[in-house]
Amino acid sequence: MAANEDITRVDQNHRRSRAVVHNGLVYTAGQVPDDMSLDITGQARQVLDKIDALLSEAGTDKSRTLTAQVWLSTRDDLAVFNALWDSWVVPGHMPTRICGRVDMNNPDCRVEIQVVAAV
């Protein structure tokens, strides 16, 4: 992590940080799967695992997630994604969520997720 007074940047490169911590909140960049050959279940699991790791590195966890933005490449994946999402979120600690269909930068990418969580 790279700190700049009251801002901490996680895994920063020339274009983005994978997460930024400021004023008690952690903002993640959109997370995509590493293996784009997987089905929606495999891709979503990879993305949720990445989010878990980022939140942990920032000193928090998914039970403190406030909001999530989910992008799917096809609405055909929504039911399967929702089942996986429902098993990932912590009961009683449901974040707000937006879920939409978008054309991904990589046509093999089926899901991208961005979250904001309290530290």
Please say whether the beta carbons of 113 and 18 come within 8 A: no
pLDDT-wise least confident of 2-6, 69-73, 93-97:
2-6
Q: Tell me the pLDDT tens digit for each residue of 86-97.
A: 999 999 999 999
Residue 5 has pLDDT above 80, yes or no: no
Q: Name the phi and psi angles at 78, rounded to 5.
A: -60, -50
DSSP 8-state secondary structure symbol assigned to residue 75: G
Please say whether the beta carbons of 98 and 57 come within 8 A: no
> Mean pLDDT, to the nearest integer, of 34-54?
98
C-alpha dist (Å) from residue 77 to 44, 94, 111, 114: 10, 21, 9, 18
CA atoms within 13 A on the CB side of 102: 13
Please say whether the beta carbons of 113 and 31 come within 8 A: yes
From 35, 32, 6, 39, select the one nearest 111 (Cα to Cα). Answer: 32
What would the CATH number be for the domain defined by 2-118?
3.30.1330.40
